[in-house]
Amino acid sequence: MVLIFDPWAKDVEHLEFNKNFLKIVQKDNIVLYVGESLQVEKLKKEIVDVDYYKIEVNKIVKNKFYRIRNLLNDFKNCWFCFKVAKNNKIKKIYVTTAFPEIIIFTKILFRNYKVEYIMHGYLKNIKLEFNIFKLNTYLRKVLKIFNNGKSYIVLGECIQKNLLKIMPELRGKVKSINHPYSLKTKKIKKKSEEKIKMGTVGVGAKEKNSHYLFELEAFLKREQISNIELYHIGKITENIIPTESKVNIPSRTQMLSENRFNEYVNDLDYILYFYPKDNYSLVASGAIFDAVFRYKKIIGINNEYFNEVFIKTKNIAFLCNDLEEIKSRILKISKEPNSEVNYEEYQKIIMKYSVENISLS
């Protein structure tokens, strides 16, 4: 019997990953799941034959004593998970959010259990300079001090390689799996007279170079390109939208419902990825599969993770060195539109990253 514990994700946060990871573990195990109440209700609708246990996740920000209150809530949830494990004769625990305080609490409470931690995007914080007042800078020290008897799962071979370069003391304790995805593939026919629709997807922020979309808009205007429409599908967390921008943004400040998100993304011809080159040295991109599983062409700034995903495929991703190269590529596409899709090439990736073909053994 195996227990999956997510002490952080609330409602739709990491929902897609947790759903897919649960399916992978469920192949060979009886599974218990401990997670936030709203997310548990969503998982229940899709995955049966799992015993679910609910916790409440507090994310108090800049309130009086908010750090202490958040830490107490984290410990309470870890203690609850420990009691669930103890009462159900659990053999193994997967912790799907590995914040420094969660690692400390669980390594103390779960010391008699086999535990594996899923290292998501938070792993990039091992590069931060230590600051006693900033909890996220503690990750590297915590991994170094509390590294006995437990192991870690990262979501890509290049991430495993880069992590071990930075922390060679973790050698033998880190394994890699492909980022699991289970979106149903969908082929969509477009009318030939429609404009070429390009856009970014997910949460927009300056650290993701989301402002490049508006620089691209200004470029297309200067070049008088009229057959391309730009979109951002998802909310934007910072004030990076120029007043005069005509980029289509269905919801600027709120997360779109899953149905509306799918509807808008399905209507795109190309999905754009402007992430900085070093952004994915320690982080996997679930967003890239929003394009692949919908048979969308990709234009983006090259990075190690994208190379790993697309290395054996052709005519799916146009990976560029910088924004200027992206502009040149889009200018060429505007003059020579090509709507043909090589579905066989997409299937190579879909098979590799599908839940059915990923194993934890």
What are the structural domains, with CATH classification, of the chain? 2-176 (3.40.50.2000), 196-353 (3.40.50.2000)
- Dig out the tokens for 211 from the structure: 């402002």
- Is the pLDDT assigned to residue 193 strictly greater than 80? no
Give the mean pLDDT of the chain.
92
User: Mean of the pLDDT values across residues 227-242?
Assistant: 93
Distance CA 90, CA 106 (A): 14
Distance CA 37, CA 33 (A): 11
User: Mean of the pLDDT values across residues 89-117?
Assistant: 95
Q: Of all residues in the chain, what percent carry a pLDDT higher than 70? A: 96
User: Mean of the pLDDT values across residues 21-37?
Assistant: 97
Query: 259-272: b or e for each residue (b if 16 or more CB lie within 10 Å)?
Result: eebbebbebbbbbb
- Is the pLDDT assigned to residue 192 strictly greater than 60? no
Q: In this predicted structure, what is the pLDDT of residue 259?
A: 87
Q: In this predicted structure, what is the pLDDT of residue 340?
A: 84
pLDDT digits (tens, 9 = 90+) for 310-337: 988 888 999 999 999 999 999 999 999 8
- 144, 167 contact by CB (below 8 A): yes
Q: In this predicted structure, what is the pLDDT of residue 273?
A: 97
Q: How far is CA 51 from CA 6, 26, 75, 80, 283, in A?
A: 14, 11, 22, 15, 30
pLDDT digits (tens, 9 = 90+) for 62-88: 666 788 889 999 999 999 999 999 999
- Is the pLDDT assigned to residue 59 strictly greater than 90? no
- Is the pLDDT assigned to residue 190 strictly greater than 90? no
Closest-CA residue to 152 (of 172, 136, 175) = 175
The torsion angles phi and psi of 34, rounded to 5 degrees, stand at: -115, 120
Candidate from 25-29, 114-118, 185-189, 241-245 with smallest mean pLDDT: 185-189
Q: In this predicted structure, what is the pLDDT of residue 50?
A: 97
Q: In this predicted structure, what is the pLDDT of residue 278?
A: 86
Beta strands at 92-95 and 2-5: parallel, antiparallel or unpaired? parallel
Distance CA 315, CA 273 (A): 16
> Is the Cα dihedral 6, 10, 16, 19 positive or negative?
positive
Q: Of all residues in the chain, what percent carry a pLDDT higher than 90? A: 77
- Is the pLDDT assigned to residue 186 strictly greater than 70? no
- 156, 163 contact by CB (below 8 A): no
> Residue 189 — very low, low, confident or very high, per pLDDT cuts 50/70/90?
low
- 212, 323 contact by CB (below 8 A): yes
Q: Residue 212 in 3-state DSSP?
A: helix
Q: In this predicted structure, what is the pLDDT of residue 359?
A: 93
- Is the pLDDT assigned to residue 128 strictly greater than 80? yes
> Residue 227 — very low, low, confident or very high, per pLDDT cuts 50/70/90?
very high
- Is the pLDDT assigned to residue 20 strictly greater than 80? yes
Q: How many Cα atoms sit within 13 Å of 316 on the Cβ side?
A: 24
User: Mean of the pLDDT values across residues 108-127?
Assistant: 94
Query: 290-311: b or e for each residue (b if 16 or more CB lie within 10 Å)?
Result: bbbbbbbbbbbbbbbbbebbbe
CA angle at 154 for the pair 139 and 237, rounded to the nearest 5°: 65
